[in-house]
Amino acid sequence: MEDTKVLDQIIDQTLDTVGQSREQIYQIEEQSRNELTALERELIEVRTKVAEVIDKTDQTQMYARLARSRLVEVSKAFNKFTNEEVRQAYEQANNYQVQLAVLKQEEIQLRDKRDQIERRLIGLKDTVMRAEQLAGQMSVVYKFLSSDIKQVTDVIEDAKEKQAFGLKIIEAQEEERKKLSREIHDGPAQMMANMMLRSELIERIYQEKGIAEALTEIRDLRKMVKNSLAEVRRIIYDLRPMALDDLGLIPTLTKYLKTFEEHNQVAVAFHHFGKDTRLPQEFEIALFRLVQESVQNAYKHAEPKEIQVKIEIKPNKVIMIIKDDGKGFDPSQKKEGSFGLIGMKERVNMLKGEMKIQSKVNVGTVVIIGVPLNSSK
């Protein structure tokens, strides 16, 4: 009993230390991200200034050549020009030479500044990535120490598999959060930051170059808004397809598998039998996720040329078959990374259904799932 209390105290102290360290890592990551965003904005401004200086240098060089030509003309026929004209020719040629020297020096300084920012960006991106990875690992440790995973793992007989599966669930949750955070930061958030910069640029262009140039920039900005909106919708769809609530299982699967086929360049044949009726919400969500997990597993691990998905909705049962012609595996040999299949089995068990997996090396894999529809009644 005394040993148990000591162990509890050790775990509590460990949790406090891990929690504090995790918060510090979060702060470092957030500060680095803020600095990264500021530097990316500064880099855009410096690149714009470099382009402007180059344009101004080219224009000044043209004027300098004209001034030199004028000076040569005056020098050859010195007696034909007044003293004032001679003085102006010399001063104009000299002024343009001075301007060119100043512009070239400014261009050198701006290029140096641009290169310094780019080097700092590389270091900051590495810091953000390392902090993100470490924060995820610390979260896994913290949640594993503070969570009761008995309810999740009671159905798994082997003690080591229980622990590994529990950790894998937490890792998967953290990975999904990290992926979502990265997608929002690199996608919509980045696009919105760029749109802010473009809107400021439009105002400057309108003032300097007029309405025609500004309208061109506005059209480009409209495209950016459209792309950003499409990216937000894609992220939302990945989280939970809204068509599942509105249209039901079969239309959502049809749309998802068609999109999957187009994005991954893998042939997907989808067939459904029986009535296209609406099922209870928990069934539609679970069945959609089972198909989603099956085709993604096939694409990631089997390198198939074709994936076939068949679903039959009977009055009291749903039968799904997902078949691929990939490289297959030996079901008798347990391999690392099979937690996806364990998760699928858990989902099927929650629906009081059955799942069978048939696979042969270099032949392909067949996943057969049967779920009774009256189990929830």
pLDDT per residue of the chain (377 residues) written in tens, 0 to 9: 455 566 667 767 776 777 777 788 878 878 888 888 888 888 898 888 888 888 888 888 888 888 888 888 878 877 787 888 878 888 888 888 888 888 889 989 988 988 998 888 888 888 888 877 777 777 776 666 665 444 444 444 444 554 555 555 555 555 656 666 666 666 666 767 677 777 777 777 878 788 888 788 788 878 877 777 766 666 665 655 656 777 788 988 998 899 889 888 899 999 999 877 888 888 888 899 899 889 988 998 889 999 999 999 998 999 999 999 999 888 777 655 455 677 788 788 888 899 999 999 989 999 999 999 874 44
Neighbours of 350 (CB within 10 A): 13
* DSSP code of residue 231: H
- b/e for 54-80, b at 16 or more Cβ within 10 A? eeebeebeeebeebeebbeebeeeeee
Phi, psi at 101, each rounded to 5° = -65, -40
Judge whether 326 and 320 are in contact, CB under 8 Å: no
The strand order across the sheet containing 364-372 reads: 267-274, 306-313, 317-324, 364-372, 354-360
Query: Any idea where the domains of the chain sit in the sequence?
Result: 2-238, 244-372
Decide: 68 and 93 in contact? Cβ < 8 Å: yes
Distance CA 132, CA 129 (A): 5
How many other β-carbons are positioned within 10 Å of the β-carbon of residue 170? 19
d(CA 227, CA 195): 11
Residues 66, 43: Cα–Cα separation, whole Å: 35
| 3-state helix/strand/coil string of 333-344 | CCCCCCHHHHHH
**Percentages helix, strand, coil for the chain, rounded to the nearest 5?**
75, 10, 15
Rounded CA gap, 360 and 93, in Å? 83
In the prediction, which pLDDT does 159 show? Answer: 46
**H or E segment to which residue 314 belongs:** none
- Which residues face 143 on adjacent strands? none
* Residue 277 backbone dihedrals phi, psi, to 5 degrees: -100, 155
Are 322 and 366 in contact by the 8 Å Cβ rule? The answer is yes
Residue 232 main-chain phi, psi, to 5 deg: -60, -45
DSSP class of residue 305 equals: S
Q: What pTM, to 2 d.p., does this model score?
A: 0.45
Domain 244-372 belongs in CATH node 3.30.565.10: yes
